Amino acid sequence: MRDKTAGLLEILKLQPVVPVLVIDQVEHAVPLARALVKGGLKAIEITLRTPVALDAIRAVANEVEGAVPGAGTVLNKQDYNKAEDAGSQFIVSPGATLELLEAARKSKVPMLPGAATPSEVMSLREEGYDVMKFFPAEQAGGASYLKSLSSPLAGTLFCPTGGVSPENAKDYLSLPNVVCVGGSWVAPKDLVAAGDWDGITRLAEEACKLAR
């Protein structure tokens, strides 16, 4: 577990913002990932919310140099195994179930499980997790809530996702218990639909500047 945590942290520390992507057309996956990597965002979370998500992960893993593709919205053992087979280097879930934790134990690919309450964090710590996704960040209490967890739950690091934007990202990134944030604003649907990859690269570059 220690090696998996170290590997996950190595990925999350690549950049201050991990793009959270919903890809509707598989042909967008490679140019989108290339645009993000060019802008400095190498770790890329592709959510399993569309029928082409696994194919998109596979394409990015095979064709985009420098990209570190991960799978998001992983809800069960089947999702986990399929995402790993597609080439995911990290797994992200909005929560954690016994089935999902068992799949993670059997896999070499590290998981970033979601938690929103002290009890959820404590339960995951008992399973050996020190790095978690704080989700849904804004709706669950925002940066001030997460800051209040830093002392009683010292030693736990978070990647807040959900409602994080350029306007509030620094509020999270300034916290001692935040390693990075997850955000969808670096790949807005209108730019993706228009194939404006240069525009997405500029957004990625701006996101990199949010680093502390």
Q: Please indicate, yes or no, if residue 86 is contained in any of the structural domains.
A: yes
What does the pLDDT read at residue 177? 97
Question: Residues 112, 135: contact at Cβ < 8 Å?
Answer: no
Range of the domain at 101: 2-122+181-206
Residues carrying an active site annotation: 45, 133
Q: Please indicate, yes or no, if residue 137 is contained in any of the structural domains.
A: no
Beta-carbon contacts of residue 6 (< 8 Å; ≥ 6 apart): none
Q: What is the pLDDT along the chain (212 residues), one digit of tens a residue?
A: 889 999 999 999 999 999 999 999 999 999 999 999 999 999 999 999 999 999 999 999 999 999 999 999 999 999 999 999 999 999 999 999 999 999 999 999 999 999 999 999 999 999 999 999 999 999 999 999 999 999 999 999 999 999 999 999 999 999 999 999 999 999 999 999 999 999 999 999 999 999 75
- Residue 1 vs residues 59, 89, 92, 110, 111: alpha-carbon distances, Å: 28, 15, 16, 9, 10
Residue 186 backbone dihedrals phi, psi, to 5 degrees: -75, -10
DSSP of 130-196: -EEEETTHHHHTHHHHHHHTTTTTTT-EEEEBSS--TTTHHHHHTSTTBS-EEESTTS-HHHHHHT-
CATH number at residue 92: 3.20.20.70
What does the pLDDT read at residue 2? 85
Beta-carbon contacts of residue 211 (< 8 Å; ≥ 6 apart): 15, 16, 173
Q: Please indicate, yes or no, if residue 22 is contained in any of the structural domains.
A: yes
Q: Please indicate, yes or no, if residue 152 is contained in any of the structural domains.
A: no
Q: Please indicate, yes or no, if residue 154 is contained in any of the structural domains.
A: no
The two structure tokens encoding residue 12: 């999350």
Q: Please indicate, yes or no, if residue 136 is contained in any of the structural domains.
A: no
What does the pLDDT read at residue 212? 52
Structurally, the chain folds into a number of domains equal to: 1
